[in-house]
Amino acid sequence: MRSARRRAIRNAFYIIPTTSRIWGRYHPIRAPLCLFYSRDLLYFLYFHKMRYPLGQHVLHFIAAPTTRAATSSVSRQRNLPPRALRKASLLPFVFVMYAYATGGPFGLEDMVTTSGPGLTLLYHLFIPLFWCVPVSLVAAELTTAIPVEGGFYRWVRAGFGDFWGFLAGWWNWSASFLLAAAYAVLFADYLTDYISFYFKPAGALTHYAIAASLVALICYVNVRGIHMVGVVSTILEAFVLVAVGALCVVAALKWQHNPFSPLVPPHAPKFQVFGTGLALGLWLYSGYEQLSSVAEEVENPQRTYPRALAVVVPLSIATYFLPTLFSLAALGDWRKWHTGYFSDVAQLLGGPWLAIPLTIAAMIGNVALLNATVLTSTRMPSTMAEDGYLPAAFSARHPRYGTPWIAIMASSIVYALLAQKTLVQLLTVYVWLRIGVTVLTVLSSWRLRQTKPDLPRPFWIPGRRAGLFYVVAAPLVMSVVVLVGSDPFARKWGPVPVLLALPMYFVIRKMQPAIPSSRAT
């Protein structure tokens, strides 16, 4: 047994030097490894107190698929240029997270007309307690415990096995189709409103052409490998916050109406009041677990990730709540609210000097959101292809830029096709998929507490068992309420992409076996 362990350790450290550029920067004395031995296989599951963690690189070799297609993918990746090792510190990472999860208050305007001004404001106070706060706590614990590429997809697979891991990955990828299309539609809404207000009315064809052109541009940018780094996010989102802050100040000085009146629209159908409003609310407060896939690119993620969440979650709530509160108090015309109405509010309250910067901020915010969505979501099919769940072509890297260009282009085609729908239609269906991913994510925190109690967790969900119960039960309750209150369009089309994952798993599993979940973790 002792000789077998020595042989396993020697073989493991033989694997590492095969990436000479990596081994040249790491030394076993400066980079202590927690080694776990299970039979004849050495697992590198956790890398602690390393300035430049080796986790992604070493796990890539240990967890590589045994299929021929996946092996060819690995050999292609070995020839890629070295990745930059400069990591994001706390402030840039805060703005990257804010850009992805929030980006500004733009897109919530339909909540006011469908759910009523009073209920909309209450939603922004209570939905976070049942959705983004518990999800953020789960993401903080599991990201610091298992900071690997794939994030929540890997957590679910480690906790529940291959089938549920596949569902999490497939649902997230499918949800990205609707989410990216929604950002393209929202960008087109604001731009066509601006064109219609100052020039001539823009038709449906112009609206779709703008949305599809933006998708094509973002696709090209992502294939070229131009990533939205922390410095760029800080500059863009600082401009957005300044414009939104100016709107809040101007509107607060003109307070004339009760922003909570009426609570709900008179004689409105219940599904409209609760279903659409909650669906939009869940969309606004989703995405905090998505950045778990970049934990290895953050300085000291065990400390930085929880601190960033502590800043971004309250900032996001204020970004949604305050502009809505002050705008309703200043104008009181809640029946006129529609997608892009914040630009109209700025025009009515401050004139062009406020409307033009706010419209530009809205478009910048949606471009950043779309870019971040494409960056994050197209890595999911690439990771699943490396695990044997999708054709190996999706893991193919561009020979010059090193990006998963086939996954990016295939996803972008779907984005452009779906950009013909309205924002509300896209998001009410998106919520069904997002609920599935979120429920599996929070359940994986409970499951891993049971199956891997000794896994090092630099951050623990506060409250011990009561805290764990809260982060699991609160999203489950919210999910049931949203699904029961779904509007007819969502009830008709929402289950379709959710159920489609079931036959896809068995078809793909039959065509191409996946890596055992114990190795993929």
Write down the CATH superfamily of domain 90-520.
Amino acid/polyamine transporter I (1.20.1740.10)
The answer to whether residue 136 scores a pLDDT higher than 80 is: yes
Query: From CA 104, how far away is CA 358, in angstroms rounded?
Result: 10
Between 57 and 167, residue with greater pLDDT? 167
Going from the C-alpha of 489 to that of each of 111, 430, 497, the distances in angstroms are 17, 12, 14
Which string of DSSP letters, residue by residue, matches 246-290?
A: HHHHHHHTT--S-TT-SSS-TT--HIIIIIIHHHHHHHHT--TTG
C-alpha 439: how far from its chain's center?
15
The answer to whether residue 66 scores a pLDDT higher than 90 is: no
Report yes or no: 286 and 131 within 8 Å, Cβ to Cβ: yes
Per-residue confidence band for 294, with pLDDT thresholds at 50, 70 and 90: low
The answer to whether residue 428 scores a pLDDT higher than 90 is: no
**pLDDT given at position 397:** 83
Average pLDDT value for residue range 90-118: 86
Average pLDDT value for residue range 253-282: 85
Spell out the long-range contacts of 310-313 with Cβ–Cβ below 8 A and sequence spacing 24 or more.
Answer: 311/94, 312/94, 312/97, 312/98, 312/101, 312/102, 312/288, 313/128, 313/132, 313/133, 313/136, 313/288
Report yes or no: 276 and 422 within 8 Å, Cβ to Cβ: no
Burial class (CB in 10 A: 0-12, 13-18, 19+), 281: buried
DSSP structure class, residue 398 = P
Per-residue confidence band for 249, with pLDDT thresholds at 50, 70 and 90: very high
Burial class (CB in 10 A: 0-12, 13-18, 19+), 494: buried
Per-residue confidence band for 107, with pLDDT thresholds at 50, 70 and 90: confident
The answer to whether residue 125 scores a pLDDT higher than 90 is: yes
Query: From CA 143, how far away is CA 153, in angstroms rounded?
Result: 12
Rounded to the nearest 5°, which phi and psi values hold at 131? Answer: -135, -75
Q: How many CA atoms lie within 13 A of 34 on its CB side?
A: 13
**pLDDT given at position 348:** 93
**pLDDT given at position 225:** 61
C-alpha 66: how far from its chain's center?
30
Between 265 and 15, residue with greater pLDDT? 265
**pLDDT given at position 73:** 36
Report yes or no: 291 and 133 within 8 Å, Cβ to Cβ: no
Going from the C-alpha of 65 to that of each of 42, 59, 172, 515, the distances in angstroms are 16, 11, 22, 6
Task: Dump pLDDT digits (tens) for 432-444.
Answer: 999 999 999 999 9
**Between the ranges 22-31, 264-273, 415-424, 497-506, where is the mean pLDDT highest?**
497-506
Between 402 and 418, residue with greater pLDDT? 418
How far apart are the two ends of the chain, measured CA to CA in Å? 25
443, two tokens: 């359940």
**Contacts of 333 by beta carbon, 8 Å cutoff, 6+ apart:** none
Report yes or no: 346 and 323 within 8 Å, Cβ to Cβ: no
- H helix intervals, 301-422: 301-331, 341-350, 352-377, 379-386, 405-418
Per-residue confidence band for 393, with pLDDT thresholds at 50, 70 and 90: confident
C-alpha 179: how far from its chain's center?
10
Smallest Cα–Cα separation from 447: which of 521, 355, 369, 378?
Answer: 521
The answer to whether residue 398 scores a pLDDT higher than 90 is: no
| 3-state class (DSSP) for residue 37 | strand
What does the domain layout of the chain look like in residue ranges?
2-62, 90-520
**pLDDT given at position 500:** 93
